[in-house]
């Protein structure tokens, strides 16, 4: 379980909102630092279906991002996708690393290879247990592999995630249908110590209205499954899709791609009540899908047993005063829509075939009896997770329950008892106050244009590309790094008011000692660099990291063997548009004596930080800040210039030339201007040396 | 607050260059607040000295520390122990003169050098700007002068001003220095007590100031019995008288 990132026990809302609590804030930081592999480890640690979630997650992180109050949320889902795409080779190579955990003898059977079942299987294998996953279809993935259209989620992406899991030692048996090829009793007889039901809601619900058995009527999941097969369904020109949820939208958009010209979605809900995600609805409309809201199906009419259209009745309300689904119609208001096909997408239910011979209790409404906290069923040793447990859910919620199921089963096998795991809401950082939001520099989000609807409709190719590296770095920089702000050490604070006087966001206060209210602090670090008592530290960026880097640089080139002169260059990390630039430049420049240390905002440098390279034997220091107008923090450059001035004075007091410190502003980008700055600094230093 | 300013590193260097292991000690109270000798300044001085000695190829080990106040035994004792335990040869104090004195008294055999010049008792009139406001003379007359101290803020410390050197509110010694007495007159006008200046302030007894020798303040309710000599003596006398009667 992720620890709260501050002493005050509050989480960034993006992290708290994610069902698996992915540390999205740290993700943005790793990306900024070019540490894509570390970002991958972080993602996979929280969610083995990170490639999938980088494409189709409903991203509650973004919906809760505090940056929304400034301009727009950070594009965290696309950042995740970027990491997954940037580290493909590394991901494959890490599969070779053997698990170090001691093997346990217990065997677990998992029924279903969707995101929850496979997550549980993966976790259990990592705990040393032996796991067999039974899948009734030919390939694994559940609805990810057999329902979600490829324009949203290519199968290769699902496979990336599943390959990790299988290579960890999870055994997969396909074409194995429970209730037909095997039963729960069989599994126990074969020596499995526990069974996990993770077969999801794999059956589409249907309607009971006149004419529903006409030819040309289909159910959503079988339809979507056939769409993905080599023999996609043949549709007429006019198609009605019944339903207003995300599955209905997948169906409608797939129908358009299969050649249907007039696709109409009909749903009971009003536009605001539609359960489909807003962005999915908008994309559907771009593809000329007509949405009829507040209409319910009345009859299907047909000719020669084939569908010809539907009669609809006006739906006046969907939910009753208690919020329960209880649609009310006005039978006198009707409308007729012509159609060659009708596809029903009004929800899914579990296939409870597995219960046959399994001695499992089923509750009214065809729901398996189970405990939401222990994930247990009415039969000992049989557990449940995913949509069978919680009803219709997103992929990431299924992953969360996979994690919970693994813990529940491991605990049961070890202790013989059930483990309670209630889903708890994490305490989050308060909203950004208006007065702070106003002071934060606006930065438009990096947006990716979708393919034009005309091109999209020609095939099932993915409609959205991922971020380029440059785009990802720009977007990651937008993260406000919530909860990583300044923390004052009360014991050291002298209440000198320096922080109050220099905070560019008006955040710091001093009563008895300094305080930087977490909901306001922007983690710029200016107070930490200036505090005369060294009482302020930042979670996000402590100069310790920089000192370690500097020490490594100097250790690797001890005074005698190093290329001379030795120049250290502190550079603003935010100006780099590819990590390759930094890594390769660092390498080539090191040989000529220039050592690059990137820092997320050089305004965070204190006077001791600026002096440190000289103390450790460097001949000169070149500081490169961001380009004109691009710094995120007001007054940062002015403060830096004052600190450089102070450091220069110190040098002069001990007889070292002040010109050994150089300051440059990036021009256009790091790639364009930094090399020139280093060359100039080097020449300047040679002149100083010649004078000696 | 006591206001101080760091000495130049060149001067500091000359104090310590003959030692091999020195400790720089900051003070977490006044000199931290006036940006002259807190933990950050300790780092700056240490760094500057290391750079200077590196240039001269001198190997001097420079250690760093900062304590809450250099003028209290409870805070100073652990530092004294550290100095002895680690065989530190000399200490550079970035506390005010009080800190240097107090450390030197406690350390006895180990030299303590001043890293700052102690300037005055003053206030921060703007961020980064401190002005002298009190001379610590031991007999406060601010009730007579509108809350502006003629001892500290008049260049001559005269008690009945202004003198002939006051011009347009400035002192003759520098156009940057306000005439303290001009400030007093203007302030007393504002509070409606100007007429009180017609009373001549008599020459004062300076024995309460440093002129009477080093001073001492005793708070009896806190002070140990050894500091309560007079009272105890008086009580004994009373007791004797009582028994005699």
Buried b (16+ CB within 10 A) or exposed e, A471-496: bbbbbbbbbbbbbbbbbbeeebbbbb
State how beta strands B90-93 and B21-27 pair: parallel
Beta carbons of B55 and A492 less than 8 Å apart? no
Q: What is the pLDDT of residue A392?
A: 85
* Residue A587 pLDDT > 80: no
Q: How far apart are CA A39 and CA A82, in angstroms?
A: 10
Rounded to an integer, what distance in angstroms lies between the CA atom of residue A4 and that of residue A334?
A: 55
- Closest chain B residue to A654 measured between Cα atoms? B52
Give B32's contacts in chain A (Cβ within 8 Å). Answer: 494, 496, 532-533
Q: Which of chain A's residues have a Cβ under 8 Å away from the Cβ of B115?
A: none
Report, as an integer, the average pLDDT of A225-229: 92
B-chain residue closest to A529, CA distance: B40
Of all helices (H) and strands (E), which one includes residue A583? helix A579-590
Is there a contact between A536 and A489 (Cβ–Cβ < 8 Å)?
A: yes
Peptide bond connecting B162 to the previous residue in cis, omega within 30 degrees of 0: yes
Verify whether the Cβ–Cβ distance B48 to A653 is below 8 Å. yes
Closest in A495, A533, A650 to B48, CB measured: A650
Q: Kindly give the parts of chain B with pLDDT less than 50.
A: 231-245
Of B32, B50, B124, nearest to A494 by CB-CB distance is B32
Q: For residue range B172-197, what is the model confidence (pLDDT) as tens digits?
A: 999 999 999 999 999 999 999 999 99
Asked if residue A600 has pLDDT above 90, the reply is no
Calculate helix-pair angle for A607-615, A636-653, nearest 10 degrees.
Answer: 40
pLDDT category at A592 given cuts 50, 70, 90 is confident
Flag if B13 and A534 touch (Cβ within 8 Å): no
Cβ-based neighbour number of residue B206 at 10 Å: 13
Identify the closest residue of chain B to A535 by CA–CA distance. B39
Nearest CA in chain B to A615: B51
Q: What is the pLDDT of residue B160?
A: 96
Measured CB to CB, residues of chain B less than 8 Å from chain A are 8-10, 13, 28-29, 32-33, 35, 38-41, 43-44, 47-52, 54-55, 66, 124, 127
pLDDT tens for residues A317-335? Answer: 999 999 889 999 999 999 9
Instruction: Report how far apart, in Å, the C-alpha atoms of A45 and of each of A21, A49, A394, B71 are.
Output: 10, 10, 19, 53
ipTM for the whole predicted complex goes beyond 0.90: no
| Percent of chain A residues topping a pLDDT of 70 | 96
Dihedral-angle region of residue B136 (phi above 0 means left; psi in -120 to 50 means alpha; beta otherwise)? left
Q: How much is the pTM?
A: 0.88
Q: Residue B51: which of A501, A532, A614 has the nearest Cβ? A: A614
The pLDDT tens digits of the residues spanning A454-491 come to 999 988 989 999 999 999 999 999 999 999 899 999 99
For A495, which residue in chain B has the nearest alpha carbon?
A: B33
Q: Which residues contact A191 (CB under 8 A, 6 or more apart)?
A: A107
Tell me the C-alpha distance between B70 and B82, whole Å: 14
Å from A502 to nearest chain B CA?
9
Residue to test with chain B: of A496, A656, A660, most B Cβ within 10 A: A496
Question: Best mutation site among A489, A490, A491, A494 for testing chain B: the one with the most B CBs within 10 Å?
Answer: A494
Query: Which residues on B lie below 8 Å from A611 (Cβ)?
Result: 44, 47-48, 51
Tens-digit pLDDT profile for residues A534-568: 999 987 666 677 778 888 777 766 554 556 788 99
Q: Which domains does chain A have, with CATH numbers?
A: 13-96+431-476 (1.10.1060.10), 107-199+357-415 (3.50.50.60), 203-348 (3.50.50.60), 486-538 (3.30.70.20), 543-691 (3.40.50)
Identify which of A344, A336, A293 has the alpha carbon closest to the alpha carbon of residue A316.
Answer: A293
| A434 touches A387 (CB < 8 A) | no
Question: Looking at A524-639, which runs of residues are DSSP E strands?
Answer: 536-538, 567-572, 594-599, 620-625
- Per-residue HEC secondary structure of A615-680 comes to HCCCCEEEEEECCCCCCCCCCHHHHHHHHHHHHHHHHHHCCCCHHHEEEEECCCCHHHHHHHHHHH
Taking the C-alpha atoms of residue B58 and residue A236, their distance in angstroms, rounded to an integer, is: 91
A and B: number of Cβ contacts within 8 A: 88
Q: Are A239 and A290 in contact (CB under 8 A)?
A: no
> Within 13 A of A548's CA, how many CA atoms are on the CB side?
5
- Interface residue of A498, A503, A510, A532 to substitute, partner B, most B CBs within 10 Å: A532
- The CATH code that applies to domain B2-120 is 3.40.50.2300
Q: Do B13 and A654 touch (CB under 8 A)?
A: yes
Query: Hunting for tokens 């973004």 — which residue is that?
Result: A62
Looking at the partner chain, which of A492, A501, A615 has a beta carbon nearest the beta carbon of B50?
A: A615
Looking at the predicted structure, is the pLDDT value of residue A280 above 80? yes
Nearest CA in chain B to A498: B127
Q: For residue B241, what pLDDT is reported?
A: 46
Query: How many residues are listed for chain A in this entry?
Result: 692
Domain extents in chain B: 2-120, 139-207
How many Cβ atoms from other residues are within 10 Å of residue A149's Cβ?
Answer: 18
- For the segment A329-374, what is each residue's pLDDT rounded down to a tens digit? 999 999 999 999 999 999 988 877 766 666 788 887 778 889 999 9
Give how far the C-alpha of residue B220 lies from the chain's centroid of Cα atoms, to the nearest Å: 23
A544 vs B contacts (CB less than 8 Å) = none
Mark out chain A residues that contact chain B at CB-CB < 8 A: 492, 494-498, 501-502, 530-535, 606-608, 611-612, 614-615, 617, 646, 650-651, 653-656
Which of A501, A532, A654 lies nearest to residue B41, judging by beta carbons?
A532
Chain A residues lying within 8 Å of B29, measured CB to CB: 494
Q: Do B52 and A534 touch (CB under 8 A)?
A: no
């Amino acid at each position: 379980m992720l620890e709260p990132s501050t002493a005050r026990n509050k989480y960034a809302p993006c992290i708290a909102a994610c069902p698996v609590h992915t540390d999205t804030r740290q993700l943005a930081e790793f990306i900024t630092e070019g540490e894509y592999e570390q970002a991958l480890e972080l993602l996979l640690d929280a969610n083995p279906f990170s490639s999938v979630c980088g494409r189709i997650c409903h991203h509650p992180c973004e919906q809760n991002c505090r940056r929304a109050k400034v301009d727009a949320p950070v594009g965290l889902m696309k950042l995740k996708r970027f990491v997954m795409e940037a580290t493909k080779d590394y991901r494959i190579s890490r599969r070779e690393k053997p698990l170090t955990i001691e093997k346990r003898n217990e065997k677990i059977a998992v029924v279903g290879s969707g995101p929850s079942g496979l997550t549980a299987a993966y976790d259990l294998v990592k705990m040393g247990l032996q796991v067999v996953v039974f899948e009734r279809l030919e390939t694994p993935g559940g609805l990810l592999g057999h329902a979600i259209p490829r324009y949203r989620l290519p199968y290769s992406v699902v496979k990336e995630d599943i390959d990790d899991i299988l290579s960890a030692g999870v055994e997969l048996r396909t074409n194995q249908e429970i209730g037909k090829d095997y039963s729960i009793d069989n599994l126990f007889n074969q020596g499995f110590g526990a069974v996990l039901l993770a077969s999801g809601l794999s059956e589409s619900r249907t309607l009971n209205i006149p004419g529903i058995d006409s030819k040309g009527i289909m159910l959503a999941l079988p339809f979507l499954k056939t769409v993905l097969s080599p023999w996609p369904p043949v549709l007429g020109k006019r198609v009605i899709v019944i339903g207003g949820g995300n599955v209905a939208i997948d169906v409608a958009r797939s129908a358009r791609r299969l050649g249907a010209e007039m696709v109409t979605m009909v749903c009971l809900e009003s536009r605001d009540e539609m359960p489909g995600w807003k962005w999915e609805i908008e994309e559907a409309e771009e593809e000329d899908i007509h949405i009829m809201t507040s209409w319910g199906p009345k009859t299907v009419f047909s000719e020669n047993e084939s569908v010809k259209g539907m009669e609809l009745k006006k739906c006046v309300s969907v939910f009753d005063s208690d919020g329960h689904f209880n649609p009310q119609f006005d039978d006198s208001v009707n409308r007729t829509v012509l159609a060659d096909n009708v596809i029903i997408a009004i929800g899914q239910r579990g296939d409870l075939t597995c219960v046959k011979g399994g001695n499992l209790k089923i509750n009214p409404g065809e729901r398996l009896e189970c405990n939401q906290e222990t994930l247990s069923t009415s039969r000992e040793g049989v557990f449940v997770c995913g949509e069978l447990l919680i009803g219709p859910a997103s992929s990431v919620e299924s992953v969360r329950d996979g994690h919970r199921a693994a813990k529940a089963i491991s605990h049961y096998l070890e202790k013989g008892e059930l483990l309670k795991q209630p889903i708890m809401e994490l305490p989050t950082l308060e909203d950004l106050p208006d007065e702070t939001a106003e002071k934060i520099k606006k930065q438009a989000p990096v947006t990716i244009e979708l393919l034009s609807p005309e091109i999209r409709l020609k095939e099932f190719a993915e409609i959205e590309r991922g971020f380029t590296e440059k785009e990802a770095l720009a977007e990651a920089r937008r993260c406000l790094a919530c909860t990583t702000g300044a923390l004052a050490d009360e014991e050291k604070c002298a209440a000198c008011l320096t922080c109050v006087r220099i905070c560019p966001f008006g955040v710091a206060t001093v009563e008895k000692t300094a305080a930087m209210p977490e909901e306001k602090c922007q983690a710029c670090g200016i107070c930490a660099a200036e505090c005369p008592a060294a009482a302020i530290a930042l979670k996000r960026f402590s100069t310790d990291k920089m000192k370690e880097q500097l020490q490594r640089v100097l250790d690797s080139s001890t005074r005698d063997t190093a290329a001379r002169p030795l120049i250290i260059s502190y550079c603003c990390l935010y100006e780099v548009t590819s990590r390759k630039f930094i890594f390769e430049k660092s390498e080539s420049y090191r040989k000529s004596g220039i050592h690059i240390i990137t820092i997320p905002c050089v305004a965070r440098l204190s006077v001791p930080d600026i002096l440190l390279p000289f103390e450790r034997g460097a001949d000169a220091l070149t500081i490169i800040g961001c380009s004109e107008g691009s710094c995120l923090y007001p007054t940062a450059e002015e403060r830096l210039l004052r600190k450089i001035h102070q450091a220069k004075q110190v040098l002069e007091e001990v007889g070292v030339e002040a010109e050994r410190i150089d300051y440059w502003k990036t021009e256009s980008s790091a790639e364009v201007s930094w090399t020139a700055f280093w060359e100039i600094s080097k020449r300047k230093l040679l002149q100083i040396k010649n004078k000696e | 607050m006591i206001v101080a300013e760091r000495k130049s590193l060149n001067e500091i260097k000359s104090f310590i260059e003959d030692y091999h292991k020195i400790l720089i000690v900051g003070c977490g109270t006044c000199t931290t607040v006036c940006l002259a000798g807190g933990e950050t300044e300790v780092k700056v001085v240490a760094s500057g000295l290391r750079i200077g000695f590196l240039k001269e190829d001198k190997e001097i080990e420079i250690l760093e520390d900062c304590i809450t106040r250099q003028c209290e035994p409870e805070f100073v004792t652990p530092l004294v122990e550290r100095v002895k335990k680690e065989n530190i040869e000399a200490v550079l104090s970035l506390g005010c003169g009080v800190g240097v004195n107090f450390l030197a008294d406690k350390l006895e055999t180990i030299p303590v050098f001043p890293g700052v010049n102690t300037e005055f008792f003053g206030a921060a009139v703007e961020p980064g700007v401190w002005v002298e406001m009190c001379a610590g003379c031991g007999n406060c007359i601010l009730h007579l002068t509108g809350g502006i101290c003629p001892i500290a803020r008049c260049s001559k410390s005269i008690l009945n001003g202004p003198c002939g050197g006051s011009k347009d509110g400035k002192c003759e010694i520098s156009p940057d220095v306000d005439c303290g007495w001009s400030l007093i007159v203007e302030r007393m006008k504002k509070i409606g007590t100007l007429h009180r200046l017609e009373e001549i302030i008599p020459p004062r007894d300076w024995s309460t100031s440093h002129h009477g020798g080093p001073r001492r303040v005793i708070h009896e309710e806190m002070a140990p019995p050894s500091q309560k000599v007079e009272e105890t003596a008086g009580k004994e006398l009373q007791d004797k008288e009582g028994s005699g009667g």
